Structures are given as C-alpha cells and as structure tokens.
Amino acid sequence: MALTDFKVLETVLTCLNDPDPVVVSHAAHALMQVGKKRPELFDSHRDFLLECLANPKQWEIGEQLPKILVRTQLSERQVEVFAKTLETNLASKWSIVAACSLQAIVDLAMSGRVDAQRAKIHLNEALCSDRKALAARARLLSASFSQADMS
C-alpha cells in the first residue's frame, strides 16, 4: 500500500519513531521493500531518513535505511552527511549495522558519489576486523570492488 498511497508511506515513516520495537522493526523492513521498488518515493524524506540513521535507536534502522538511502538521489550535502554517518556506524555495537554501513559506503564509491579511496580505507580496516560478520562482508565486497577496478 505504501507504494501507491503517499499517506500510508508517511504513516510507515512515522513508525520509525514508535516506542514499540516491533513496530519499528516492521516499519524499517517495509520501507526497505518500498525503497527497492520505488526509491523516488523517499525524495521528500531523505533528510528525515538521514536523521534516523544518524542515531538509530535499534539495529533494524541501521540495517535497512542505508539500503534505501543509497538508492535515492541525494544532494552532494546529503551524500556527505550519509557517508559520515555510515563511517560512524561502522563502529556500531550491532554487527549488522556495521556490515550494512560498509556495504553502503562501497555502493556510494561504486556509483561515483564518494571517492573510491575513502571506501577502500574502510574496506581494508574491515578486512582486519575481529568482528566476524563485518570481516566476512568486507571479503565479499573486496572481491566485487576489485573487479570494478576502482583505482
């Protein structure tokens, strides 16, 4: 319904701030599904999503919002805010948030929105991480990043 009804989408977006963690979890996942199909629906909500991602109150927000934001048409300012937030979230206590942040940084580099060297630094750091999920994601990303020849 959120794909076709703007009011439903806005309602789901407000659920990211719901006090019930189950509501937040389902809202984040639903929004990611919308973002996969129609990222342009978030054009007027990019700053709100960036704010939510900057201080995720639960891991589902840090997992799903990067997947949405990387698909949107961010301004240069928003790209920089997004990249800095992702860099901060690499140190998240939640491994899935760190792994999804790394994925989004690489995606931004592969689309030319951030410098490839910036992504390589984080990728190399993650390859040496003692966090198994982050190191595993880094190994997968490293292979695709190298194939893209992003020197």
- Among 114, 119, 121, smallest CA distance to 76 is for 114
Closest to 60 measured CA to CA, from 16, 19, 91, 11: 16
pLDDT in tens, 17-59: 999 999 999 999 999 999 999 999 999 999 999 999 999 999 9
Per residue in 55-87, is it b (16+ CB within 10 Å) or e — as a string? ebeebbbbbbbbbbbbbbebeeebbebbbebbb
DSSP string, 114-145: S-HHHHHHHHHHHHT-S-HHHHHHHHHHHHHH
Structure tokens given for 66: 């990067």
Split at pLDDT 50, 70, 90, the class of 97 is very high
Q: Which two tokens stand for residue 19?
A: 């006090």
Give yes or no for residue 1 having a pLDDT over 90: no
Domain boundaries, the chain: 1-73, 82-151
Query: Is the pLDDT higher at 49 or at 2?
Result: 49
- Residue 144 to residues 14, 34, 50, 71, 87, Cα–Cα distance (Å): 36, 26, 26, 18, 20
**Cα 56 to Cα 51: distance, rounded to the nearest angstrom:** 9
